[in-house]
Amino acid sequence: MNGDGDDFCFLSGEDGTAVPFLAAGGAGCISVTANVAPRMCSDMQQKWREGDILGCMELQDRLTPLHSALFCEASPGPVKFAASLLGRCRSEARLPITEIADESKDKVRNALVIVGLLN
| Residue 70, domain extent | 11-115
Amino acid type, 3 = G
Q: What is the pLDDT at residue 79?
A: 94
Residue 74 domain-assigned (yes or no) = yes
Residues of the chain under the 70 pLDDT cut = 1-6
Residue 94 domain-assigned (yes or no) = yes
Residue 40 domain-assigned (yes or no) = yes
Does the pTM surpass 0.95? The reply is: no
For helices 53-69 and 77-85, angle between their N-to-C axes, nearest 10 degrees: 110
Q: Are 28 and 12 in contact (CB under 8 A)?
A: yes
Number of domains in the chain: 1
d(CA 41, CA 96): 29
Q: What is the pLDDT at residue 1?
A: 45
pLDDT digits (tens, 9 = 90+) for 100-117: 999 999 999 999 999 999
Q: What is the pLDDT at residue 8?
A: 84
Q: Which residues of 72-87 are buried (b: 16+ CB within 10 A; e: fewer)?
A: bbeebbbbbbbbbbee
Rg of the chain (C-alpha set)? 15
Residue 76 domain-assigned (yes or no) = yes
**What's the CATH code of the domain at 77?**
3.20.20.70
Residue 71 domain-assigned (yes or no) = yes
Q: What is the pLDDT at residue 3?
A: 52
